[in-house]
Amino acid sequence: MSESEERMDCEAREGGAAPLLSVADLQVRYGPAQALFDVSFELAADTTLAVLGANGAGKSTLARALSGLVPPSGGRIRFDGRDITAKAPDVIRRAGLVHLPEGRGVFPALTVQENLRMGLAVDRADRKAALERAFSIFPVLAQRHRQRAGTLSGGEQQMLSLARALMVSPRLVIADELSLGLAPRLVDVVFENLQRAREAGVSVIMIEQFAHRALGFADRCLILQRGVVAWSGPAEAAGDELLHRYLGEGTAA
């Protein structure tokens, strides 16, 4: 463990600036089942990482471990110069890491407006402007601001989830399958807005089923297979052959 930390520090010095996120030998277990084995990678500030992999490869587990939802059973996570290994999710969120979980990441019993207010629970400054920003990105949310989030359509719920991240200015957004089950037009909206966040200096880790789209968007790529990092490198180097090998025919669409 200390060896890898040294290596990490060494690389950081060589690169000039410390990476925004560095993960070393991360392991996660759910009871007797181990989901991640010694996952290590680094993410420089202002870059986008696409995490790809087949079902059950550990993509969502990686996201949950980074945001503190599941405690790692081994390894180290450093974020923005701080050790956030096994810290509580609220502490990690306050450090500037926003995790948009897989599925409907909204509070179903709260109204749209209340969901957005929960998104601002940490960043108290200028709530009004932040709310307006959310409504200007997704006008449909403004129309439905008094409606319960659980009664929105799937796409609207994803927009609400994304709005909760875009209305504030986090350092890093982890978007887990944000385009899952969305109509193609809405997938475009999701990517447009992630692009906008990127331009505003937010780093993004995207977990995606649309591998080609994700690779076109990202700078770097990490492929997980059965809980192990199978390949990592620049996104443009992740060619078709590689995707077929690790993801199979269907997923590389």
Partner 1 sequence: MLQYLFAGLALGAIYAIASVALVATYVSSGVFNFALGSMAFTVARFYYFLNTESGWPILPSAVVSLGLFAPALGAVLYWLLFRHLRLRSPLIKVVATIGLSVALPPAVELVFGKLTNVTAPGLAPVPLKVFHPFGAAVNMDQIMTYLGLVVVLVLGIAVLQYTDLGLKVRALVDSEALTSLSGVNPTRVSLGVWAVSTVLTGLAGILLAPTAGLSVEGMTYLMAAAFAAVVAARLNGLATAVAVALAMGVVTTVIQRYLDPESALSAQIVPSIPFAFMLLALLYHAWRRRAGEPPAGGALDRAIRVAGGATGGPAPARRGLADPTLIASGVALLSVAALPLVLPEYWAGLTATGLALAIALLSYTLVTGEGGMIWLCQITFAGMGAVLSAELATYHGWPPLLAVFVGALLIVVVGAVIGLLTIRLGDLYVALVTLTFGLLVQTLLFTRDRFYNFGQGTAMPRPGFAEDTRVFSYLTLGTFLLLALLIVNLRRSTAGMAMRAVRWSEDGARTLGLSVVQMKLLVSALATYTAAVGGGFLAMNSQSSLPDSYNVFSGLVWLAVLVTVGSRSLMAALVAGLSFHLFPGVFQTYLPTGWAEVPVLLFGLGAVMVAKDPDGILAVHARQLRGLLARRGGGLPQPSGRPAQAALASGSPDSAVHQLTGGDR
Give me the residues that bind partner 1 (CB under 8 A), please: 27, 29-34, 37-38, 60, 64, 67-70, 73-74, 88-90, 93-94, 98-99, 101-110, 114, 117-119, 121-122, 164, 225-228, 230
Closest CA to 112 of 164, 179, 176, 174: 164
Burial 188-223 (b: 16+ CB within 10 A, else e): ebbbebbeebbeeebbbbbbbbbbebbbebbbbbbb
Compare residues 70 and 186 and give the one whose CB is closer to partner 1: 70
Compare residues 18 and 111 and give the one whose CB is closer to partner 1: 111
Sign, CA dihedral 154-158-161-163, equals negative
Compare residues 109 and 253 and give the one whose CB is closer to partner 1: 109
Nearest approach in angstroms of CB 46 to partner 1 is: 23
Nearest approach in angstroms of CB 105 to partner 1 is: 7
The 3-state DSSP class for residue 226 equals coil
Compare residues 115 and 217 and give the one whose CB is closer to partner 1: 115
Nearest approach in angstroms of CB 188 to partner 1 is: 26
Tell me how far apart the terminal alpha carbons of the chain are, to the nearest angstrom: 38
Nearest approach in angstroms of CB 94 to partner 1 is: 5
